[in-house]
Chain A
């Protein structure tokens, strides 16, 4: 598949931005009390969100999960609004109601982030149903982890989406760990994608650290969805370089395994490819990195300077008028 160079540069940019974002948060977590809550990062997994979102149009919808930051940034969410929400400040995209875990950014069509494992899939089915019902030319993508494939909601959602040929793409970001369980400790299914067969939909295994492969697969499944042929289950094999959250000591992940996967980092993989093709210079890459770091620094300053919501604002936003 021929991928336009501008798309490749866009993917490189969103991966670099996501990495700067997560590296900064990881550092901030080392200072007690600076960022509240449970910090769950996607360090090393950026190719999935970047590849998927680059293949989407702005009107396409994503439903994401607890490991959402890189998906949301790749979908175009404002880093300042995200960071302020992660800091639980009133200027955050959800006014401090969601915090780092439930970031909702409907303005970039990322309306639902669920931290209940597997819950995103039925929600995505509903979004895709609305798209089909209104005969819109857009699709819904649901991001979830390998652990979510063990939930009943996964199976109910795949079955219904297949039955109704809904324009939804189920993207399993298989980072090899569900909590402290390695993949083979929580299921005997060889690949999550194998489960697609049970629902009569295509299932595909993709190298989740190869952003171009992710982009190509998503593009194909998106076209399929738009043609009325229904959902696809795309399993992106990647690796959780950090713990489940930043407080997880990762004692159950072999050091050699972590080291080896760090060597498969998706960012140099793409930038080396672009350099080899003469599509980018080392200076341009350094500029991208500097720009991303500056944006994240600005987002942190914005978040730290922002006020917390007033206590009584807790009572707002429960009900629609």
Chain B
């Protein structure tokens, strides 16, 4: 099987969908000719294959980029636009929150908005808090938006293809640290369903629910705990909206214990939602209080020592699991 980074997997998904449907186009800052030249990046080579009509470099203009997507989608195109870094969605947020998410509802179901907004995210590259800020919980809080946050290259490819074919607005969040973590990606065409979590590692003692870049941390923690005889079940949500509550509850009912892990900050983070779902539906089956392992409630700092402190690590996960065993 081919080994690809997540950016390369995204690139394959974009190529396949653009070849399949001439109404798919991409737009964003540097999606054609960019300041980052790297074969591991998602839009490398697309301009050469599809030309400047379908690969549109835009000005630094996030509101216009997102508005372009919303307007063009209503008109029937399938835009896939990129917001370079997650914190910059604040500049596009009116178009995303008040328009992409709401205009279908406001039309009484007459119009649909088949658009994808790809957002690059994640801490770990020393850029500081205005480039690194995971805001998936904000987006998940807006009815009308699907929110997808893949953890593996294979899922990224299959989920992005599904997102492009979806008739709803999809926010597709890519953690840039995963661009450089190759993994197996099937050669043949496949779609990964949005709204379906994936048990990435089965186990019977504790459910560890996570998504995005934290899957790697979850695996490391599970490995260490396995050496102590503790079997961790790692559930990768893949999509926050729609949320696959079935898979979460099935796992928790089996293990009776829950740890939720995300890189985003703690207060108002999506771990709260996952925890609430479990408390509402599986309280009686919990053998211990749940635990959250998250980034602390601080902006992502720049210095390597401070940034490492910010990003949750396997030690914190192992500790959390031990506390509830």
A residues bordering B, Cβ < 8 Å?
61, 63, 92-98, 102, 104, 106-107, 111-114, 116, 119, 121-131, 133-134, 140, 152-153, 156-157, 159-160, 163-164, 316-321
Contact = CB atoms under 8 A, between A and B. Distances in A.
B159 interface: no
Given A97-B105, A126-B71, 6 more contacts: A63-B71, A116-B98, A123-B71, A130-B77, A133-B77, A320-B114
B107 A319 contact: no
Given A94-B106, A126-B67, A131 B95 contact: no
A159 B76 CA distance: 23
A52 to B, nearest CB: 18
Contacts of A134: 77
Interface stretch (B13-21, B58-66, B223-231, B300-308): B58-66
Interface string B86-105: 00000000110011000111
Given A94-B106, A97-B106, A130-B75, A122 B144 contact: no
A93 B58 CA distance: 35
5 contacts: A122-B63, A129-B68, A156-B61, A317-B109, A319-B104
Nearest to A314: B105
A321 B113 CA distance: 12
A77 to B, nearest CB: 13
Interface in B35-65: 53, 56, 58-59, 61, 63-64
A159 B72 contact: no
Contacts of B76: 130
A302 to B, nearest CB: 17
A100 B135 CA distance: 33
A123 B111 contact: no
Contacts of B25: 133
Contacts of A164: 56
Contacts of B95: 119, 122-123
Given A104-B110, A111-B74, A133-B25, A320 B105 contact: no
Nearest to A159: B59
Contact of A156 (B63, B109, B112, B144): B63
B143 interface: yes
Contact of B103 (A104, A133, A319): A104
Contacts of B67: 119, 121-123, 125-126, 153, 156-157
Contacts of A123: 67, 70-71, 74, 95, 99
A98 B106 contact: yes
A126 B72 CA distance: 4
Interface of B: 25, 53, 56, 58-59, 61, 63-64, 66-77, 79, 94-95, 98-99, 103-114, 143-144, 167-168
Nearest to B77: A130
B293 to A, nearest CB: 32
A320 B78 CA distance: 14
B71 A321 contact: no
**Residue from B76, B103, B107, B113 having most chain A Cβ neighbours under 10 A:** B107
Given A123-B99, A320-B168, A153 B94 contact: yes
B209 to A, nearest CB: 24
A227 B301 CA distance: 51
Contact of A112 (B74, B109, B112, B168): B74
Nearest 3 pairs of A and B residues by beta carbon = A126-B71, A122-B67, A130-B75
A156 B61 CA distance: 6
Contacts of A63: 71
A123 to B, nearest CB: 4
B68 A104 contact: no
A129 B108 contact: no
Contacts of B71: 63, 112, 122-130, 140
B75 A160 contact: no
A316 to B, nearest CB: 7
B166 to A, nearest CB: 8
Contacts of A95: 108-109
A113 B168 CA distance: 19
B305 to A, nearest CB: 37
A113 B109 CA distance: 14
Contacts of A124: 71
Nearest to B91: A152
B72 A122 contact: no
A126 B105 contact: no
* Most chain A beta-carbon contacts within 10 A, residue among B63, B71, B99: B71
A94 to B, nearest CB: 4
A127 B108 contact: no
A107 B105 CA distance: 16
Contacts of B58: 160
Contacts of B107: 94, 97-98, 104, 106, 111, 317
Contacts of A157: 63-64, 67
B109 A122 contact: no
